[in-house]
Structure 1
Amino acid sequence: VSTALAEGWSVHDEALEALRPCRPGDICILLPTRISLPALEAELRSARLSYRAENSSVVYATAEIRTLMMVLRAADDPTDELTMVESLRSPLYGCSDVELWEWKRQGGSWNPWAPAPDGLDDHPVATSIAHVRSVAERIGWTSPADLLATIVDDRRVFDLALAGPDGRDVWRRIRYVIEQARAWADAGGHGVRRYLQWAKLQASESRVADTILPENDHDAVRVMTIHAAKGLEFPITIVAGLTTRPRRATTNGVVWANDTWMLTGRGDDGVFVAHQPIDEQMGDAERRRLLYVACTRASDHLVVSLHRGAPTKANEQYEDWGPLTSAELLFAAGAIEPTSGAAATSFEAATFTPPSPIALDLDWSDPAIWAAERTTVLRRASRRTGIAATRLSEELAAIGDRDAVDDPGLDKRPVNVETPPWQRGRYGTSIGRAVHGVLQFCDLATGSDIDNLSKAQCAAEGVIGLEDRVASLARSTLDAPIVRQVVDGAEHWRELFVAAPVGDRVLEGYVDLLVRTADGLVIVDYKTDQWSGPVQTAERVGRYRLQLAAYGAALSATLGEPIVGGILVRCVADGSAEQIDITGWADAIAEVRAAVI
């Protein structure tokens, strides 16, 4: 790989329709199995070459993922002492052999639930085991994906990856594994032990490997199994890992004959022995098919490693191809003969120095400008992307503590239906919700069903005994001029939910009543809280003005037509409701839009 990059082997660029020097992303290393992956990773890191694994079986075999699975296994099975010790020695905990020996010499246990020896509470091994125990404590009610995310966050795995040359690929692998764990849970999987078995299956050679979509903006050497490379092509293909000898089955075979099955040696009457050569031939044929797939993936350059040891005395001439490694098989088939069209080459270690990244000319070279931009970004990132109109009005009115200023008129959040009715809210908010519930369904022309609806809503809100008050507050709205327009046939919508992007936030909320008047759409909001005097009136109306304006901004963005005004209908228990027109409507809309930018 280093030689190809240092010498600039030519590859064809389809976009340029010409030859150009190769880049790391043009090179793909194909492996028949995962056995040689650790050695390959070590050499790539030693040469400081960035690489990325591109199929799941390879991802689950990488050091970082194996370490994560090992920690999760140690937390799940307190009797697996070997896994615990290996986890403690991993980069996630960094316990040295000396520290592990000290711990054991002082009587320390590898069981995460065992207490630490006297005087070793702050020992590195003790703190590491305590973290494994904290993971084990959450296994009963936490999904494997969340447990993996917790380990990654607690042990700063992303930060640790920055110390290596392939930090970006490590991040990608970790994110992939966590997302796969979430997908496994969404598909019905549950239990850490079952997940670990599933993850082991993902890394098994018997599984058809799925290819991970590459990141085209990451120029790195690609590593994948031959199975995953089917149907793909690469400018430079390097076939490695061909020194593994084929394994003969060491377990009993299964014989299928006469519509039944049996284990070899147990009643097969020599059936399996008779067919064993055919089975071995089929396995050898599959190996040759894989070699064919690997050697036909290259579009410009094909490099095949034929490294092999001295032949055995029993097969010095490679006459029996069955026990040969893939490299020996290719050699015996004449892969290095001139007639094959290949050139036998020995590579010397070359040094490839990647080009230095181009320094970006940032717009905020001035520290003061950069600090101001950073403050703005942090302020926007700390805000909720979605916000209810009631919450926005509180922010604009500088009401941060809802307990300090108890304003039932602004409380229109969803009810927690999981709690008993008598625990759902304060008295004021319960009355308000009951009144709104009645006005959502009642006959606005006659109000004949208000009493029955009040009884039902009071029962739901846990305010039994206040049915008459709720009915009186609801009935007072029937005389409001805007409600009479609805009765006279004006187009209207009750309890209308709205959600729309305004600026860089999403405004949402429930509009009590939307009426199409002769001038246009008007928002109507019922208020059940009581106030008196011009000072309180001005303060309350000013606050509700922003709430209605937030509804108006969201509705305008959704409907594509302006909202011409807002009206408050203040319910009273003894008389007709008071209708209050919101003044300065255009200014209120502009204020809301400025606040969400």
Structure 2
Amino acid sequence: AAHYGDVAVLAKTNDGVKKIAAALRAASIPWATEQPGLLSTPEALLALACLRRLNDVRDTLASAEIASLADCEEPESWLADRLRYLQAGGDSARWREAGEGAHPLLARIAELRGQARLLSPRAAMELVIAQCDLPGRVLCWRRSELVGRVRLANLQALVALARTYEDACLSRREPATLSGMLLWFGDQTQGQLDMLAQPAVDAVKVMTHHGAKGLEWPIVILMDLEKDIKDRLWSVGARSETALDVAAPLKGRWIRYWPWPFGAQRKVEIAEAIAQSEEGVRIRAEAIDEAKRLLYVSMTRARDFLVIALPAKTKECALMNELGAPWLLGEEGTQSLRLAKDLSIPYRRAVFDPPQALEHPAEDDGALRWFKPADCRSARLPAVVLASAAPGGSCKVVETREVGTRVKLKSAVDMAALGSAVHACVAAAITSSKARFDTADANRILQGFGVAGAIDSTALVGQIGALERWIEARWPDCRRHPEIPVEGVLPNGQVVYGRIDLLLDTQSGWVLIDHKSNPAPKDRWHHVAAEHVGQLSMYASALSHVTGRPVNEVWILLPIAAGAIRIDTRPG
């Protein structure tokens, strides 16, 4: 017996492929086609909504899409809930992120958001798909094994598309960002370059006659043969007056373009006269020859059975007439077609009425699973971890140093924002082409991070100067590298990401310096060291492993507390 995968349906145009695929979908017949539309599938829309939400907490439209798609919740339900939340004074950007009515996906994305800034776009895509269990979600939408396989394949294709974006950025020497990838996805959709996945499933293959070249199926159905042969009289075409010259491939070649001058009119007397001209007849003959070659390709794709599908009311086929082969359609009641050299092949002609209503096969109750789910499940280690989130531990403080003068902070300061601003000021001072980093520079950075006035900019500039003098005195010939990104694989397979604040390259090895805006007094510095030893151990291990050079010293710089702590990150 024939299977769905034994059948191919060939159409003349991409629009015809889409119509055939839609008809097969309506009849619940599995189909596969190399067509754009990946980013418009429900599973891709859900993944992109999660990615947009991860990228921007203000993207409330993404929140609505997640609520609607993830659990197929009716708009009336989640919209009413959102209106009640806003009426009660809730933050529009934090709807369903926490509390009793939190949505599991929105809550999980909120937990992951801190990792987004250190992840590549593809890694962020993989993180969202894995941590939000999108494969499990999309499998619950339909209980059809075929549909489930296609949805999973589309999620994998989405990751592959993210990798393509990163490769494109690399070739152009441009940074790959999450926001940039989302915009690039929009361009791919508009340009119809987001190709659907084609998983290895038992499905009818739908494609164009041109696309079938070199392939073969037991059963091939040819569509659109009743349509007229279109020539390129009124279009752009390349012409060649001589044979190909390998040394000068463009020699004797030119572009012929006859624009249609009659606007929306399609039947114009003079146009018919032009079609009968010498040039028109020649181009028409070329089109017929191309149609012959294409028909030969299509008909020879069938191994066992060839079906020529025509509308029931079609009495004759213009294409067959043009090719001089109307006998291929046969007569009603004919049981064989006679070919050249007294050969004949079995033939059958049949007329079918379309069904009045299509019956959809019943689906088994319960969610589709590839394996029996466990009664209880232990928490999975995250695929990606941030070095800054590494747990602390006991460590040895080798030495401490006073660097500069302690800086006073104003009350109610956002320490996270202040820490980022201080990092930026130190990096700007080290990389600045100016003779000296001054208070105007510091004020601009503090204002940009929303902490203007939280710290005296003059005092901050003084601390940066003290840091530079300390480095110059202790490591006079070192090269300074601020904000060095780190990525490595831990022994358990987890991928760790981080950023070394300041790396000094000395003749004997590396000196690693990490800034912390902790204002702790000196008698609490050993607690600060213990809190961050895990993070710095990861940095030191990754750095020595990648470069093959030792990390001689590891320091925690406290610019607010005016000190530096040297720690030993070696185990034991």
Tell me: higher relative CO, structure 1 or 2? Use CA pairs within 8 A at least 6 residues apart.
2
- TM score, norm. by length of structure 1: 0.48
Rg (Cα) greater in structure:
1
